[in-house]
Structures are given as structure tokens and as C-alpha cells.
Amino acid sequence: MQSPPHAILLIHCPDQAGLINTVTDFVYRNKGNIVSLDQHVEEEQGVFFMRIAWEIDQFLIPREKIGEFFHTLIAEPNQMSWQLHFSDIKPKVALFVSKASHCLFDLLQRHLTGELACDIPAIVSNHTSLAYIAEQFDIPFYHFPITAKTKAEQEIKEKELIDELNVELIVLARYMQILSADMCGSYPNRIINIHHSFLPAFKGGRPYQSAYDRGVKLIGATAHYVTSELDEGPIIAQDVAVVSHKEGINDLKRLGKDIEKRVLSRAVYLHLQRRVLPFGRRTIVFD
């Protein structure tokens, strides 16, 4: 049932003729069986994107040399940016939370049932209210209380923890602290946040109140990579639900939780499947 290990290569570079051929040729000649290939050309800017996955059990180049060979033979001559991943290596993910439990539960339940291919070595929080959930799921809980004064030093400790645990991805699962520009800059395209509105509408705080006041007929949620500009990072996933005048603010919050859960989980899933390629303020999502 377990599929054989794959190499997954994500590429982007200036567009030119023959790129698909060049890459598939590299895989094929070295006895890799391509299991999926997606490509996209952003015509306005002339940029080529590609995701290719192949079985490596018969591949002529040893797994630890694939990156080096690809870089020298293919990437450098074609000015490619690239990432290489292996399907049998589980990345480490840290979950940052505050007091709301819905996204945390949802992620942990999916992890438990094998839907999210990762390890979760840490739940980090500026509060202790959700420590019991970490205990329920037997995951180490780290408490970093944050005030305006302590923020800088606490972030340093958080970064030490992340580096020590070898965390690849940070998920802000309704973490109610704005990360400093330094923190954002330390993990480019490695922090996913869920914002509780359909961005770019209702940036910043209290989006449900703003949605109520504006009288919108849809509410939404947005999962995006975090950049130093608040709520402006590349969007990975969005969804909405229909609402009406009947829903008061508390109903919007209740209905919104459902959207937040599924949008955040979907974004994390796509990231872990190596299907997301951020590019400027946009993402290419090969789903």
C-alpha cells in the first residue's frame, strides 16, 4: 500500500523553450519513473514553474547527490531556483496557538489519522489555556508569555527552540500575537497564518466585527505565508461561507471557525505535499 519513495522537485526560472524537455530528460535518462508533472507559465512576467515527482528506487543518482547533480547539470545553466524534497522524510512542524482551540484540534486530529505527513515536536503558546490539549495528544507544550516588554527576548527563545527542534514549518493556528519583522524574516515562506477574513478585505484586528458592520453576505478565511507586512503575504488557500442578516457577531465567529479550520488545514496539507510555490505576492499551487 505504501508507495515507493519519490523525489519532488519544485522549480522556477525565466521561461524559454525546451525547459520541460530538459527536466524530464534528466529524470528519464537516469531511470526515474515520473509519477506526476505540473507546469505553469506566468505569461505577464515570463516565468516558468514546475513540479515534478519521480520514483527514486531505481534512480541512477544516489539520493544524497541528486541536488548537486541537478544544480550543476540543469539548474545553473537555466538560472533555476529549485527545492528538492523526498516523500519519505517527514518535516517537523511547530504549532503556535493562543486561546482558541478549534484549529489546533483540527490539525492534531488530522495528524493523528495520518492525513498530515509531518512530525509535531512542539505546541507553542503565549497562554497556558490549551496546555491540556497538548497533554491529551502527548505533544510537548512550550509557554512563552508575551508582553510588549518581553516580546523581543521571548521571540529569541522561540527561535532557539525552533532551530533546536529542527522545525521546518511554523503554523500560526489562531496565534494572537503579531510576529516581529525579524521573526518573519527568519523563516521566509516557512510560517503559515490563518486570517479570519477573505483577504484583502478586513485586514488586521476584529474582522468579524468589520464584516458585520459592512453587512457582507459572505464571510471567509485566508491561509497565507507570513511576511513582515501584516496580512499581505502570499495566499495559499481561501474559502467563504454564506451568511445573512440573521447572523449576529457571535454567529459569524462560530461559522467562521469552520472556515478557518478547513482553510488552514488545507494550506498545511498542500505545503507538506510540496505543492505550493510562492512567487512574489502570489502562489502557484499545484493541486
Of the residues 15, 119, 163, 231, only one is catalytic, namely 231
Cβ proximity to its own copies: between 27 and 66 the closer is: 27
For residues 275 and 287, the answer to whether their CB atoms sit within 8 Å is: yes
Distances 218 to 121, 215, 241 between C-alpha atoms, Å: 36, 9, 6
Cβ proximity to its own copies: between 76 and 287 the closer is: 287
| Cα torsion through 94, 67, 233, 95, rounded to 10 | -10
Does residue 193 come out as left (phi exceeding 0), alpha (psi in the -120 to 50 range) or beta?
Answer: beta
- Nearest to 207, CA basis, from 166, 184, 176, 173: 176
**Local structure of 14: helix, strand or coil:** strand
Taking the C-alpha atoms of residue 248 and residue 179, their distance in angstroms, rounded to an integer, is 30
- Nearest to 241, CA basis, from 250, 253, 231, 232: 253
For residues 118 and 192, the answer to whether their CB atoms sit within 8 Å is: no
Cβ proximity to its own copies: between 159 and 262 the closer is: 262
- Nearest to 26, CA basis, from 41, 13, 40, 37: 37
Q: CB of residue 164 vs its own copies: minimum separation in angstroms?
A: 28
Cβ proximity to its own copies: between 16 and 166 the closer is: 16
Residue 46 burial by CB count (10 A; 0-12/13-18/19+): exposed, middle or buried?
exposed
Q: CB of residue 4 vs its own copies: minimum separation in angstroms?
A: 13
Cβ proximity to its own copies: between 82 and 137 the closer is: 137
Q: CB of residue 86 vs its own copies: minimum separation in angstroms?
A: 19
Phi, psi of 203 (to 5 degrees): -65, 165
Cβ proximity to its own copies: between 167 and 237 the closer is: 237
Question: Does residue 258 carry a catalytic annotation?
Answer: no
Q: Which residues contact 282 (CB under 8 A, 6 or more apart)?
A: 234, 235
Q: CB of residue 240 vs its own copies: minimum separation in angstroms?
A: 6
- Nearest to 279, CA basis, from 9, 67, 49: 49
User: Which residues of this protein are in contact with its own copies, per CB under 8 A?
Assistant: 17-18, 20-21, 24-25, 27-28, 33-44, 101-102, 105-106, 109, 112-113, 115, 136-137, 198-202, 213-218, 220, 234-240, 242, 244-246, 248, 254, 258, 262, 280-285, 287
- Residues marked active site are found at 231
